[in-house]
Amino acid sequence: MKKVKISHEVPFCLLAKSREFNDYDYCLPHLMDEYKEYEDFFTTSKGMGRYIVMDNSLHELGEAYNTERLMYWVNTIKPDEFIVPDVWENYNESARNAKAWASVELPEGVMKVAVVQAKSLHEASLCVKLYRDLGYQKIAFSYGASYYNDVCPHPDKDFGKAIGRFMSINKMVENGTLLNSDRVHLLGTANPIEFGLYKNIKCIESIDTSNPIMAGIEKRLYYSLGLSPKPKANMNKYQDVSEDFIETEFIEYNVRKFREINGL
């Protein structure tokens, strides 16, 4: 398996430490409007030459962040990648957004990434083909799409979604919808053992997930098959916790174990 870049989102108190184990820094633009320390972190990362991926905050806000503010932060930070606005599980609206953003001029060196949004594997395949035709150089797949459970029915819905995403991507590789030369980002995960399944899928380039961090905050340790169920903790609730609240040895163990169990 080629080198896959990994980033784990962390609470503010661990931002500086995260540079020790993250291959790149994952930015949520709405937080830069809310917290000066978050803005300062990414300004410093940019100065250090760190690779930066900027999301559009759909997962955290329920809808993509304000377009004017997105453009402000893209022009200010100049991330290496920017995930253009998408609409949760809505192929038509996400396709419309992707068409509109394909012609938006961004700073030199900022690559646009489009997220596959769909209610079925068929729609997801159409999405991939459209994004490629529009000239997007990189495509992302979310972790929580409901159709993954249709692809892989399982009593454990989180496990089913993780395996369902893998099966969906694998099917697209097999039928030529996804090419070895494509560049794919995996947004989050419902079960951390998922990533070890992609060993022979050459188009997977990067992943981000806070799973080992959230499990560590809950004082839960990964075992050889990862962790189930998915941690209930989420970054919206724990973003500004103090370091005194966190037992960092749990997080450090899970981050190491995450790479180990997935062969990363």
Partners of residue 82 on adjacent β-strands: 54, 112
pTM for the model stands at 0.95
Total domains in the fold of the chain: 1
The residues near 246 (Cβ < 8 Å, ≥ 6 apart) are 11, 13, 14, 216, 217
Q: What was the pLDDT predicted at 229?
A: 79
Exposure string (b/e) for 22-42, b if CB count within 10 Å is 16 or more? bbbbbbbbbbbeeeeebbebb
Tell me how far apart the alpha carbons of residues 224 and 209 are, in angstroms, rounded to a whole number: 18
Q: List the CATH number of the domain containing 101.
A: 3.20.20.105
Query: What tokens does 225 get?
Result: 């098959």
Structural contact between residues 141 and 177, judged by C-beta atoms closer than 8 angstroms: no
Tell me how far apart the alpha carbons of residues 224 and 261 are, in angstroms, rounded to a whole number: 6
The residues near 215 (Cβ < 8 Å, ≥ 6 apart) are 221, 222, 227, 231, 233, 250, 254
Which stretches in the chain have pLDDT values below 70? 1-2, 233
Domain that holds residue 127: 5-261
252 SS3 class: helix
Structural contact between residues 131 and 83, judged by C-beta atoms closer than 8 angstroms: no
- CA proximity to 134, closest of 169, 90, 84: 84
- CA proximity to 89, closest of 167, 147, 154: 147
